[in-house]
Structure 1
């Protein structure tokens, strides 16, 4: 049984604890990835939007996965890249932005940001 919350010890809080769901960490990671030029979307691959939303809702394969181990997070994102983007360069920027965003917003240490390039969006395709 997977625990979807993490207890954070924060000395700035008096009289209580802070728990942040891994779903919140995943949402931060998704938003941070989408801020990078060259990323067309965070998705498991080329599906139509209805199928993609159904898969995400049923958790068959989620586009963002967060694994907590020994107080640190490993984040895996499935990305759709824009046609013409230099994938290695964009990937480095995504990794850095995701790691910084999660750590700055939550104080959770991110040990790794793994990326899976799940597809390539056409130059004319709308952003997912």
Structure 2
């Protein structure tokens, strides 16, 4: 069941003339954008858009990591395992229509960085990269700052030391 914020987002996109998320006719597989020209069709999977957005967000100074809570922890653990890598799509959610895309990002910034400046830089870079690489119009980039990274902070480990 969709939460009310997702329903509201979809309603707002429909009112703005957006085609909304694309659904395959057979009902299966990931949604794909389809760009049609005189020479043929190009289909772009949501995962491709998510990967581009993830790389673009990580290019910005001030972004420590991406993902919220448990997903970020699992990604960090995966990075510690030999041969394991942090997935670039972690912290990225996209909705792709026929010609438009909407992107949600979960980021962790560094302490001392202006969250407003970092967010605007992320937004500009994600829009520029996705539009340039896919031809899709990015209708929105929502950024959730889930944490602030402080050098030397081991995610609350010092709280255990105070109580011992």
TM-score range, shorter chain: 0.7 to 0.9
Structure with higher strand content:
1
SS at match of 1:120: strand
Say which of 49, 52, 66 aligns to 1:25. 49
TM-score, length of structure 1 as denominator length: 0.78
Q: Point out where structure 1 has 5 or more consecutive residues left out of the alignment.
A: none
Where relative contact order (Cα < 8 A, 6+ residues apart) is larger, the structure is: 1
Q: Supply the distance in 1 between the matched residues of 2:37 and 2:150 (Cα, whole angstroms).
A: 45
In the alignment, which residue of structure 1 is the partner of 2:151? 123
TM-score, length of structure 2 as denominator length: 0.62
Q: Supply the distance in 2 between the matched residues of 1:32 and 1:44 (Cα, whole angstroms).
A: 18
RMSD value, Cα:
2.8
Q: Supply the distance in 1 between the matched residues of 2:96 and 2:133 (Cα, whole angstroms).
A: 16
Q: Supply the distance in 2 between the matched residues of 1:111 and 1:82 (Cα, whole angstroms).
A: 27
Larger-Rg structure: 2
Structure with higher helix content:
2
Would the aligned equivalents of 2:57 and 2:63 in 1 still touch at CA under 8 Å?
A: yes
Q: Point out where structure 2 has 5 or more consecutive residues left out of the alignment.
A: 1-26, 80-85, 154-164
| Count of equivalent residues | 118
Q: Deviations over 1:70-106 (max 9, x none)?
A: 5211100100111111000110010000000000011
**Alignment CA distance shift 1:17-1:40 (3 Å):** same
